[in-house]
């Protein structure tokens, strides 16, 4: 019985880690989407500035803003990739523990699922 208690403890910890990793991925997905929208929204202004002859300071400013937006998107994408790898690792760990234990402690079986 002590073996099951130890497995339950490890499974509960793995579930907590999985939930934290999932929340991180969800937050980073929103952050990356926001950075992507910011970049896309400024592209028309940048296109217009490139076609116009004057206002080099406006062009420079738009390029700087664009560079920051690209950098923000790249950073969010990198963080999202790393967080997704952690989420996948947590999922595999949780699945292995569930298979050993036969259930996930504290998670009830949905009505209609075979027991």
Run means of pLDDT, 10 residues per run, the chain, 115 residues: 82 94 95 88 80 76 84 90 96 94 75 48
Closest-CA residue to 14 (of 79, 81, 98, 102): 98
pLDDT value for 58: 77
The reported pLDDT for the residue numbered 1 is 52
Q: Look at residue 104 in the predicted model and tell me its pLDDT.
A: 87
Are residues 76 and 25 in contact, defined by beta-carbon separation less than 8 angstroms?
no
Contacts of 94 (CB under 8 A, 6+ apart): 11, 14, 15, 17, 18, 104
Helices marked H in 52-115: 56-101
Residue 88 tokens read as: 């996948």
pLDDT score, position 67: 87
The residue assigned the tokens 């950073």 is: 75
**DSSP-based three-state secondary structure for 15:** helix
Tokens 């926001």 sit on residue: 34
Dihedral sign (CA 37, 39, 44, 45)? positive
Residue 115: predicted pLDDT: 45
CA 72, 74, 79, 83 torsion: positive or negative?
positive
């Amino acid at each position: 019985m002590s073996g099951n208690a130890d497995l339950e403890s490890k499974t509960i910890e793995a579930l907590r880690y999985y939930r934290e990793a999932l929340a991180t991925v969800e937050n980073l997905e929103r952050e990356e989407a926001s950075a992507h929208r910011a970049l896309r929204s400024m592209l028309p202004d940048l296109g217009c500035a490139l076609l116009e002859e004057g206002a080099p300071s406006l062009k420079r400013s738009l390029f700087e803003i664009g560079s920051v937006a690209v950098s923000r998107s790249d950073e969010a994408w990198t963080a999202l990739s790393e967080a997704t790898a952690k989420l996948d690792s947590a999922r595999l760990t949780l699945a292995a523990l569930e298979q050993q234990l036969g259930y996930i402690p504290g998670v009830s079986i949905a009505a209609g699922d075979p027991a």
